Amino acid sequence: MRIFVYPGSFDPVTNGHLDIIDRASKLCDKLIVAVLINRSKSPAFTMEERVSFLKQVLQGRNNVEVIPFSGLLVDFMKQQNATTVIKGLRAVSDFEYEFQMALLNKNLDPNIETLFMMTNIKYSYLSSSAVKEIASYGGDIRDLVPEQIVDQIYNKLRKK
């Protein structure tokens, strides 16, 4: 069984993330969307909220599972019997960091491969940070995130 992992903070999940999830899930038997605790970021949404958003928008995708985790990605991959990391790239600037992470992971576990997927051009400008900024000022995020979670994002971010 080919198990891939798509790690990220998903704070919140965007249509760009969903595009990568949908495309990556066609390449494996099981895709784990791994919601991570990133010590270098202060998320706007709790782990529970981020996992809930993903579960809501991924309903009906039978080979996709959402799992929260912290720690080293290679350790999580071993626990899940996963072989491949999926990383979405929006621009060349993403590549340098993700390439470094892929090499570090390969050094920690030579059995792990990283598959880089270019984003769909219509999402190349999109980031969770941009969504949070726009939503916090009441701007329109309806084309940026899945419809099911728009109101939840507004409700959380307008309070701040």
Is 70 annotated as contributing to ligand binding? Answer: no
- Residue 69 forms beta bridges with which residues? 36
Q: Which of 23, 30, 61, 90 is catalytic?
A: 90
Assess whether 106 carries a catalytic annotation.
no
Q: Where are the beta strands (DSSP E) in the chain?
A: 3-8, 30-36, 64-69, 84-89, 113-118
- Bridge partners (DSSP) of residue 68 are 35
89 is in an annotated binding site: yes
Residue 122 marked as a ligand binder: no
30, 3 contact by CB (below 8 A): yes
144 is in an annotated binding site: no
Among 25, 50, 128, 132, the one annotated catalytic: 128
Is residue 136 flagged as an active site residue? no
* Residue type, position 60, single letter: G
Residue 76 labeled ligand binder: no
The answer on whether 10 is annotated among ligand-binding residues is: yes
Q: Tell me how far CA of residue 89 lies from CA of 4, 36, 118, in angstroms.
A: 17, 18, 5
Of the residues 2, 41, 78, 158, only one is catalytic, namely 41
What are the backbone angles phi and psi of residue 34, rounded to the nearest 5°? Answer: -95, 110
- Catalytic residue check, 61: no
Active site residue 142: no
Annotated binding residue 41: yes
The active-site residue out of 17, 25, 50, 132 is 17
Closest to 17 in 3D by CA, of 50, 62, 63, 60: 50
73 annotated ligand binder: yes
- Give the catalytic positions in this structure: 17, 41, 90, 128
**Annotated binding-site positions:** 9-10, 17, 41, 73, 87-90, 98, 123-129
**Annotated binding-site positions for ATP:** 9-10, 17, 88-90, 98, 123-129
**Annotated binding-site positions for substrate:** 9, 41, 73, 87
